[in-house]
Amino acid sequence: MLKVRNKTLKELRGTWLYETVEKYANDMKAVMITLDPTFRFTKIMSKTISSLRKVLDDVEHYYTDAKLLFKYFQEIRAIFGDGGFSRENRIKKLSKIYEIVLAAAKERDPTLRLEDCKAFLPSKKKSTVKILGEWCRLWDSYLPGLFKYYNFPKAVKTNMDLEKGFSVQKQAIFNRVAKANV
Helix (H), strand (E), coil (C) string for 3-33: CCCCCCCCCCHHHHHHHHHHHHHHHHHHHHH
Domain-by-domain residue ranges, the chain?
Answer: 13-153
Mean local confidence (pLDDT), 58-84: 90
Q: What is the pLDDT of residues 108-141, one digit of tens each?
A: 999 988 888 888 888 888 889 999 999 999 999 8
- DSSP assigned state of 153: S
- pLDDT value, residue 153: 72
Say which amino acid occupies 82: D
72 contacts 78 by C-beta, under 8 angstroms:
no
- pLDDT value, residue 158: 66
Mean local confidence (pLDDT), 140-164: 76
- What are the residues whose beta carbons fall under 8 Å from the beta carbon of 11, sequence distance 6 or more? 4
